[in-house]
Amino acid sequence: MLALSNDGLSVTPKWKDKMLDCRMHGLVSINGYIYGTAQSGGNGLVCLELRTGKIMWNTNAIKRGVVIFADGMLYVYAEDGTMHLIKPNSKAFEPVSRFPISMGTDEHWAHPTIANGRLYIRHGDVLMAYDIKVGF
């Protein structure tokens, strides 16, 4: 983490972390914590405190994948083809559910998106839409 000077012309290092090297998968920041998947060493899903850089927890229950956030939940599309629903919690890994993405071909690298109560996932030449609206 770098602190920008008041004039915007320089930065000061605040902390450094080597575990959460998300490469192309992106991160989600929620209430002062960063959630993402680590690439090096198979560290899996990580929760890091933004202010200090402290790793709050990490789990290899989910390996590398794309993390997005909607309606109070983390959605993690893992490279093994599993979509995970996780409750953001800085104290502990809190899985809610998961399901396999069985249609399509090749790597599971596309970034999912959520719009109008639907989760969209592309896998190869297939686009899937899942109704995730709460209620009826």
* Residue ranges of domains in the chain, CATH in brackets: 2-104 (2.40.10.480)
What CA–CA distances, in Å, run from 121 to 15, 30, 89? Answer: 35, 23, 25
Question: What's the pLDDT at 20?
Answer: 77
Beta strand pairing call for 113-115 and 73-78: unpaired
Question: What's the pLDDT at 49?
Answer: 96
Does residue 17 surpass a pLDDT of 90? Answer: no
Sign of the C-alpha dihedral, residues 122, 123, 127, 133?
negative
In the structure, how many helices (H) and strands (E) does the chain have? 0, 13
Q: How far apart are the first and last CA of the chain?
A: 43
The CA distance from 21 to 23, in Å, is 6
Widest CA span in the chain = 52
Mean pLDDT across the chain: 90
Question: What's the pLDDT at 5?
Answer: 93
Does residue 127 surpass a pLDDT of 70? Answer: yes
Question: What's the pLDDT at 55?
Answer: 93
The CA distance from 85 to 3, in Å, is 33
3-state SS, residue 108: coil
What CA–CA distances, in Å, run from 117 to 62, 110, 126, 134? Answer: 24, 19, 20, 8
The CA distance from 54 to 103, in Å, is 38
Does residue 119 surpass a pLDDT of 70? Answer: yes
